Structure 1
Amino acid sequence: MRHRTFLKIAGFGIMLTAFSPEAATAVEKDRSPNVIFLLADDLGYGDTGFNGNKIIKTPHLDAMAEEGIRFTRFYSIGPVCAPTRASSLTGRHYMRLGMMDVNVGKLPKQEITLAKVCKANGYATGHFGKWHLGTLSKTESPRHKDPAKDFAPPWERDYDDALATEISVPTWNPASGAHKKHDSPYWHNGNKVTENLEGDDSRVIMDRAIPFIEKAVAADQPFMTTIWFHTPHSPVVAGPEYLKMYEEYTEGQQHYYGCITAMDEQIGRLRAELKRLGVDKNTILWFGSDNGPEGGGRPKPKYDAYHGAFYGKAGNFRGRKRSLYNGGVCVPALAVWPGTIDKGQTLQVPSSTLDYLPTVCELIGSEQPQDRPIDGESLVPILLGKAKERHTYIPFASTIKTSQLALIKGDYKLFTMPASAQGDELYHLHDDPAEANNLIEEHPERAQSMKADLKIWVESCRKSFEGKDYPEPYEQQGTFLKVE
């Protein structure tokens, strides 16, 4: 067995889940598992076959649901892109880092990420696709006003190999220049990419991810990779063969449905490669989305194609992207680990992207960071059927459009807008996932208790935001949530 090293970090942080020797024994194999995180961009809860969509063809994702775990209450944490990505890598709410919105700030170098933990434990680390956690060049950026100040590429955040764009790109012919607002070059380890950028963007990404995996397997080295698709974020564009699959629908629908099917094909390609390489049974594969679907309603006909993203479905949830109601943050999610995770499970336990880092730490036998607050908890006991509930609450905060706060504790969710005259709201998510029946008057004491928990957590985040978690100097960024 490969000798396991540990990331030693002194101190103590709140909301930490300790490493469990029992769980380690349960997942023990000849070597630590490979880990792959697949992330769609703006994919709604109702946009996949495994969540009930009858139109969009997602056979490979549906197969994953049959062969592993389908999460019905998995939360992106952020209602928009960059915040979720920051939390996915760190296990910490993005408010602690100052990354409250998109195109603002960068992933602080002081953060301990999935890549840092895995690299310290002998893993090859790779990132492929959208980044959105800082600029990729010190001299040019499609969105950031000061590229040098916000420079934070994945190859300087503990990734051995990285092909990335700073922001979203068209989902077909990503370098064509057809959508000027979304001209975001691909960079590979610091060098601008000009080759093999034609056709489906999900294929462009997977063409680089698979060689990274092949190289790690050939070197007999475990690997961790984040594969972050641009699909189905606008500009939503599908190629001719995918448009033809949906020719009975409007042009915008054809593009939206088609690009999702194209992404699904690349996920199937990845799974076939893992099997061919003989590592599928020692690889845990995660799938999720960074937030709910883009805005609602049907666009005017002349804008139909460009605004195809508006056809995304949030299932029966309230709200969409930018909202902390379920439609904005409860996303399609799966986990597959052949031979270790039981097939065909549907998991209703609340969980989130904050849980990725604690889970990986436990899977590979590494201590969690102990000098800073971690907001997630390890899902290993739940994945292996050793536990049926989580021990920590799931916190939410956002300044998108207006200040919003929420907290999930067990089956209940508290929602509040501090700067608004709108009263607090309390929902029982198991009985009312659509958040239609406000129970605040029936359970005032529960709501008060949850609000007290939320207040304590916000103050903890404020200390983090001010740089109190880091021993070295920290350049504060963003604006902290205003709470009256």
Structure 2
Amino acid sequence: MILLKHNTGFSDYLPGIGLTLLVFLFSSGLFAQERESKSPNIVFILVDDLGWKDLGIQGSRYYLTPEIDELAEDGVRFTNAYAANPVCSPTRASILTGMDPAHHKVNISNWIGAQEYEDRSDDKMLQPQIADHLALERITMAESLKANGYSTYFIGKWHLGHTEEYWPENQGFDKNIAGWSKGNPGSFFSPYNNPRIEDGPEGEYLPFRLGREANSLLEEHRKERSDKPFFMYFSMYNVHTPIEAPENLIDVFRNRREKLGLNQDGIYEIDKGVKNRTNQSDATYAAMIWAMDSVIGSLMRKLEELGLEENTMVVFFSDNGGLSAPGYGVTSNKPLRGGKGWVYEGGIREPLIIKYPPLTDGDSNRVVEYPVISNDFFPTLLDVSRVEKKPDQSFSGISLKPILSSEEMPDRNLYWHYPHYSPQGGKPASAIRNGPWKLIHFYESGENELYNLKSDPSESTNLASLKPELVSKLEGDLMQYLKDIKAQFPKEK
């Protein structure tokens, strides 16, 4: 009889087998299956306004993100990952419900508060009215997981309801730290004037404070509820406006900018009458990104310190593209076109990293080109957690678990509907992606633009006039889809 011990604590008496069979057990995946048998913990990290190219591993030569780059090297990085909308509230609704935010049962196709905030008297079209909250009857990701034994924690930005009855603690979260009606923190330095977090010492920097809160929650959970899995939704206020960071960090990136010889004031180009930044050189924004990265690194180390890393799924994502238009233009999404507020790639394509050792170990640093969208997260987390959706519950997305296991995924269309005017100059539009093809329909002019994203990810060459049959088919599919979900449209004045 041979005694076999595994350094994770696994041990058993296995009579009559030797090293060869042990190797076979590892290679056959039986140990991985045993490791996956427990309900996984989930840490979902959502960054606000982070652009597709705002990470070192995504190609930025100015910003420093060593912690997230390491996360990508340990997990799976998706290069064609999309937000469901080019602004924040709709994408956040899609993540929590698994539904297209333009669906009539959600009806959040713009950021909540936009129509009260802006004077749209000069617009050519009337924008549709949207809901001012995420409806309580919608089953959220937190509610599903909580009903199946999870402790649920929310930290950071909510922006899915003006009044308290629609805040995280009433949408399935056991604890809510800093989540309320506002879409930005007002100030990144204490006092925060936020009813869901106590002010810290004057001058305390909010990202670091929220990072400490997240680590404390992990410690508390490990000590008091270690028998239960947890779902932590860490929805950062970084890197949204106001663009603020500690002065000592800004100095670091001023010096780095000088060493790299970057243009301090930015370089711009005109696109559809809107100036867009084409380089990354804003030192304060770079400092905000570094702070965000360091907080994530601290969180990953805390998971490891507490022995939670092996059975925790980590998802890293952004809610829309980077701010590239003047007045907001602190970053560039190049080679992608446009930025936040536009349905061009720079407004909707996001960095996405998923790490879950039982599925991604042995296949780390993998890059996936399959197009995915934020509607996919809810069904994915239910699938990985082995939680059944309710009979009357429907999703616009699909589970990504197969692709994490290197399995084939079905061909499908992706859709976007933004029937609004954005502060960044975006005009009412809808879009469809089918394989490499992307069609954008603009409502003011009725015009279509067609791009082959495989050969032209910058959307620089409109092929609509060369492929009228394809344009007709894609426009027809797009409009039928919007009709099926009972989406609202802009109207002529």
- The 3 A distance-change label for structure 1 pair 124 and 391 is farther
Aligned to 1:475: none
CA distance in 2, matches of 1:161, 1:390: 37
CA distance in 1, matches of 2:188, 2:313: 29
Q: 1:64 touches 1:336 (CA, 8 Å); kept in 2?
A: yes
- The 3 A distance-change label for structure 1 pair 94 and 232 is same
Counterpart amino acid of 1:290?
A: D
CA distance in 1, matches of 2:375, 2:453: 19
Aligned to 2:431: 406
From 214, 221, 239, the counterpart of 2:219: 214
Larger Rg: 2
Q: Is 1:429 the counterpart of 2:429 in the alignment?
A: no
Residue 419 of structure 1, CA deviation: 3.3
Residue 369 of structure 1, CA deviation: 4.4
Aligned to 1:318: 337
TM-score (norm 1): 0.79
Q: 1:136 touches 1:187 (CA, 8 Å); kept in 2?
A: no
Q: 1:27 touches 1:363 (CA, 8 Å); kept in 2?
A: no
Aligned to 1:279: 308
Residue 126 of structure 1, CA deviation: 0.9
Q: Is 1:258 the counterpart of 2:287 in the alignment?
A: yes
Aligned to 2:10: none
CA distance in 1, matches of 2:34, 2:335: 36
| Percent pairwise identity | 29
Aligned to 1:82: 89
Residue 439 of structure 1, CA deviation: 2.5
Q: Is 1:111 the counterpart of 2:138 in the alignment?
A: yes
CA distance in 1, matches of 2:239, 2:186: 9
Q: Is 1:175 the counterpart of 2:191 in the alignment?
A: yes
Counterpart amino acid of 1:412?
A: W
Aligned to 2:469: 445
Residue 211 of structure 1, CA deviation: 2.3
Residue 483 of structure 1, CA deviation: 7.4
- The 3 A distance-change label for structure 1 pair 279 and 100 is same
- The 3 A distance-change label for structure 1 pair 208 and 399 is same
Residue 157 of structure 1, CA deviation: 0.3
Aligned to 1:368: 389
From 49, 60, 64, the counterpart of 1:53: 60
Unmatched 5+ stretches in structure 1 = 1-24, 138-150, 177-183, 298-306, 466-479
Alignment of 1:116-127 (within 5 A): 116-127=143-154
Q: 1:112 touches 1:369 (CA, 8 Å); kept in 2?
A: no
Residue 441 of structure 1, CA deviation: 3.5
Aligned to 2:417: 397
Q: Is 1:158 the counterpart of 2:148 in the alignment?
A: no
From 111, 119, 126, the counterpart of 1:102: 111
CA distance in 1, matches of 2:140, 2:202: 29
Aligned to 2:324: 295
Deviations 1:375-424 (A, max 9, x none): 1111010111012x444321100023132111112222111113324x21
Aligned pairs, number:
409
Counterpart amino acid of 1:481?
A: F
Residue 168 of structure 1, CA deviation: 0.6
Counterpart amino acid of 1:360?
A: L
Q: 2:81 touches 2:371 (CA, 8 Å); kept in 1?
A: yes
Q: Is 1:131 the counterpart of 2:158 in the alignment?
A: yes
Deviations 1:106-129 (A, max 9, x none): 000011111011111111111100
CA distance in 2, matches of 1:458, 1:372: 19
- The 3 A distance-change label for structure 1 pair 194 and 172 is closer
CA distance in 2, matches of 1:393, 1:198: 47
Aligned to 2:352: 333
Local SS of the residue matching 1:263: helix
Residue 198 of structure 1, CA deviation: 4.3
Residue 42 of structure 1, CA deviation: 1.0
Aligned to 2:490: 482
Residue 237 of structure 1, CA deviation: 0.7
Residue 203 of structure 1, CA deviation: 1.5
Aligned to 1:12: none
Local SS of the residue matching 2:350: coil
TM-score (norm 2): 0.78
Unmatched 5+ stretches in structure 2 = 1-31, 114-131, 258-263, 266-280, 422-426
Q: Is 1:32 the counterpart of 2:18 in the alignment?
A: no
Local SS of the residue matching 2:465: coil
Q: 1:171 touches 1:200 (CA, 8 Å); kept in 2?
A: no
- The 3 A distance-change label for structure 1 pair 405 and 28 is farther
Local SS of the residue matching 2:50: coil
Q: Is 1:202 the counterpart of 2:226 in the alignment?
A: no
Local SS of the residue matching 1:39: strand
Residue 319 of structure 1, CA deviation: 1.2
What is the RMSD of the two structures over their aligned residues, measured on CA atoms? 2.3
Counterpart amino acid of 1:385?
A: S
CA distance in 2, matches of 1:215, 1:420: 56
CA distance in 1, matches of 2:155, 2:234: 5
Local SS of the residue matching 1:169: coil
CA distance in 1, matches of 2:72, 2:100: 28
From 182, 193, 196, the counterpart of 1:187: 196
Q: Is 1:343 the counterpart of 2:364 in the alignment?
A: yes
- The 3 A distance-change label for structure 1 pair 368 and 433 is farther
CA distance in 2, matches of 1:81, 1:196: 29
Local SS of the residue matching 1:100: coil
- The 3 A distance-change label for structure 1 pair 46 and 159 is same
